[in-house]
Structure 1
Amino acid sequence: MRKQLLGWAALPILGYAGICAWLFAKQRELIYLPQDTRVDAAQTDFAIERDGVRLRGWVVNPARHEPVIYFGGNAERVENRREQLGRVLPGRSIYLVAYRGYGANEGAPSETALFADALAVFDDVQARHPGEAVSVIGSSLGSGVASYVASRRPVSRLVLVAPFDSLAAVAQAHYRMFPIRWIVKDRFDSAGYLHGYQGPVMVIRAGRDQVIPASSTNRLIGSLGRPPQVIDLPKADHNTIGTDPGFEQALQKFML
C-alpha cells in the first residue's frame, strides 16, 4: 500500500517534469509563428543573401534618403506595413524584410539567426545609402531584434513598439508555474542590449496590451541609458497598437 501511495504521489511530479520537457522541446514552435506570413517569392521586391539563405522583403521609395528598417512582430506580415509607413514617412526609403522561415524566406528562425540576419540587412541598407542616417523600427518580437541591432550598429533613431525587457521575462509572466527563465534558449535581452545605447529612442506602448506585460515594458524603459520618449496609447491592445490614431502621429513627429 505504501509503495502504491508513493507511486500516486509521484504522478504530479512526473507530469510537471513532462510539461517542462515538452516546453523545452517545442519552445521555438511556440515563440515563432510564421505560418500565416507565407508569400510567393515573386511578390517580394528586395532580397539579400546570408549564410546560404535568400532573405526577401519589400522596399518603399527606394530612391529616397535617410532609410528606415522595419522589423515586424511574431506573426506579422510585414508587407502590410508598406502603405502606412510610406504614407507616414514619405521622404524616407523604407525596408521591410521578413525573418528567415517567414514570408518567402527559407530557413528556420532562431535568436542567433535573426540577429545575424538583421545586421546583414542593416549593412546592406547602409551600403545602398552611403553617408546617410539609418533608423530602425521594431514591433513586438521585432523590438528585440531592433534592440540588438542598435547595440551593434550606428542606429540613428530607434522606435520600439510594444517592447519588452526580455522574451524570457514575458514568457515567465505567461507560464508562471513553470521555470521558463531556465527553459528559454532565445532570450532577446533587449534591456541588456540597450543599456549603453545613447541615440534617440521612442517607446510606444498599448494600455490594453494582453501579450507584453506593462511591467516588462517598464523595466526596459528603466534600463535605458538615455531616457526615451514614451507614447502611451491607452485604448490600444497588442494587435491594434499600429492602427491607433496616436501611433502615426507619434511616429511622424519623432522621425522629423
Structure 2
Amino acid sequence: MTLMQSINNFFTNAQQQITSLYGFQDALLFQPNEPDTARTIVQTPDVFHMPYETITIETPDNEKLHGFLIKQINRTNERETLIFFHGNAGNIGHRLQNAHLLYRACNINILLFDYRGYGKSTGAPSETGLYTDALAVHDYVRKRNDLNQEKIFLFGRSLGGAVALHLASHLAQINATPPLHSVIVENTFTSIPDMAKRLFAVAVLDYVPNWCYKNLFPSLTKIRHIKCPVLFLSGGQDELVPPPMMEKLHEECKSSKKQLVIFPDGQHNTTWLSHDYTAQIRKFLTECSALPSEPTASNLN
C-alpha cells in the first residue's frame, strides 16, 4: 500500500466514524423508550400519597408537555419550588420515589415534567427542543400566583443538569427578574463532545470540531454566566460521567455562592440514595434563603 493510499484510508475511516457518530447521537443521548413502556405508562404521585395537579404546558412551537405539580399541603406559597429536569431515559413516573424523598425531607413543592417526546409529552427530543421546553416550564411556573416567586430553583440530573444549566445561563444573561433562587445539578457533564471522547475512546475524536456534533450541551461554557447560588452533587463512583467533570463545572462557576458535595459511594443513578443527600440539599436551600437579595433593575432606580 502506498503512502497516499494509507492517507486516503485514514481520512475515509475518520469520515465514516464521524458520520456514524453524528447519525447515532440522538439514539445514544435520548432514550424516551427505555424501558419499553415509558411512553405508555406514567405513574402518578398517588403512588406515594402526594397531593398534585396534572398539568399541560404548551411550548411556543406547539408541543404539549405533560407534568405534575406536587405541592405542600401547608403554607404552600412559603415553600421553595423545585423544577425537576430528569435524565435521558424513562419518564417522570420513574422519578416519583426521588421526588417523594425530597418532598418529605426538604418540605418543598416539586414540578415534574417530561421533555418533548418523553412520557405523555408530544414531539421528538432534540437539544434545541429541550431548551425550548425548559423555558416554557419556567415561564409557566412564573405565572403561578400560588408559588413563592422568590424561591424558584432548578434541579437537574445528568442530561437534565445540562438543560438546567442552559436555562439558568439564559436567565442570567437576560437579567430575568425575579432571579432564580438557586440551581442544583447532579452527575452532569461538561459537554457532549467531552463525553464522546470518554465513551468511544477513539483517537480521531480529539481532532473532530464541534460542528460535527449534532448535540453539544456545552455546560462548561454556560456555567460561567450563572450568577445565582449553585450546588454540585457528585457521585464518587459515577461509572458514566467522570467525577472530574463535575469538579470542572464547579471550578468554572462564577457564582459567589457555590458548593461541591461528593458522595464517595454514589453511582450515576444512585447518588440520590446516598447518606446525607437530602440533608445537604436542605442545608443549601436554607443558606440561599438567608442570603441578601440581589439588586434588580427596578430597585436600582
- More deviation, 75-84/145-154: 75-84
- Unaligned runs of at least 5 residues, structure 2: 45-52, 172-178, 287-301
Query: Which residue matches 1:249?
Result: 279
Q: Secondary structure at the match of 2:69?
A: strand
Query: Which residue matches 2:233?
Result: 204
Query: Which residue matches 1:108?
Result: 124
1:71 aligns with one of 85, 90, 106: 85
Question: Judging changes above 3 Å, is the alpha-carbon distance between structure 1 residues 82 and 126 closer, same or farther for their aligned structure 2 residues?
Answer: farther
Q: Secondary structure at the match of 1:45?
A: strand
Query: Which residue matches 2:48?
Result: none
Aligned-partner Cα distance in 2 for 1:194–1:147? 6
Q: Secondary structure at the match of 1:245?
A: coil
TM-superposed CA distance for 1:170, in Å, is 1.6
1:152 aligns with one of 152, 157, 170: 170
Contact 2:42 2:93 (C-alpha < 8 Å) held by counterparts: no
Query: Which residue matches 1:33?
Result: 31
Query: Which residue matches 1:17?
Result: 15
Aligned-partner Cα distance in 2 for 1:223–1:99? 28
Contact 1:55 1:100 (C-alpha < 8 Å) held by counterparts: yes
- More deviation, 83-92/55-64: 83-92
Question: Judging changes above 3 Å, is the alpha-carbon distance between structure 1 residues 232 and 62 closer, same or farther for their aligned structure 2 residues?
Answer: same
Kindly provide the CA deviation profile for residues 42-67 of structure 1, in whole angstroms up to 9, marking residues without a partner as x.
96922111122110022211762331
Q: Is 1:61 aligned to 2:71, yes or no?
A: yes
Kindly provide the CA deviation profile for residues 71-102 of structure 1, in whole angstroms up to 9, marking residues without a partner as x.
01111433233343344334322101111111
- Unaligned runs of at least 5 residues, structure 1: none
Aligned-partner Cα distance in 2 for 1:181–1:78? 35
Kindly provide the CA deviation profile for residues 125-184 of structure 1, in whole angstroms up to 9, marking residues without a partner as x.
111136442111000000001101111232211101012222221222222324255332
Contact 1:60 1:82 (C-alpha < 8 Å) held by counterparts: no
Contact 2:98 2:272 (C-alpha < 8 Å) held by counterparts: no
Aligned-partner Cα distance in 2 for 1:41–1:86? 16
Aligned-partner Cα distance in 1 for 2:42–2:90? 17
Aligned-partner Cα distance in 2 for 1:173–1:208? 16
- More deviation, 158-167/43-52: 43-52
Q: Is 1:143 aligned to 2:143, yes or no?
A: no
Q: TM-score, normalised by structure 1?
A: 0.88
Query: Which residue matches 1:172?
Result: 197
Kindly provide the CA deviation profile for residues 4-59 of structure 1, in whole angstroms up to 9, marking residues without a partner as x.
x9768855653442222111122111111111232357969221111221100222
What amino acid sits opposite 1:189 in the alignment?
P
Q: Secondary structure at the match of 1:89?
A: helix
Question: Judging changes above 3 Å, is the alpha-carbon distance between structure 1 residues 187 and 207 closer, same or farther for their aligned structure 2 residues?
Answer: same
Aligned-partner Cα distance in 1 for 2:131–2:87? 14
Quote the sequence identity (%).
Answer: 27
Question: Judging changes above 3 Å, is the alpha-carbon distance between structure 1 residues 221 and 76 closer, same or farther for their aligned structure 2 residues?
Answer: farther
- More deviation, 135-144/235-244: 235-244
What amino acid sits opposite 2:283 in the alignment?
K
What amino acid sits opposite 1:124 in the alignment?
Y
Aligned-partner Cα distance in 2 for 1:23–1:123? 35
What amino acid sits opposite 1:255 in the alignment?
L
Counting matched residue pairs gives 254
Q: TM-score, normalised by structure 2?
A: 0.76
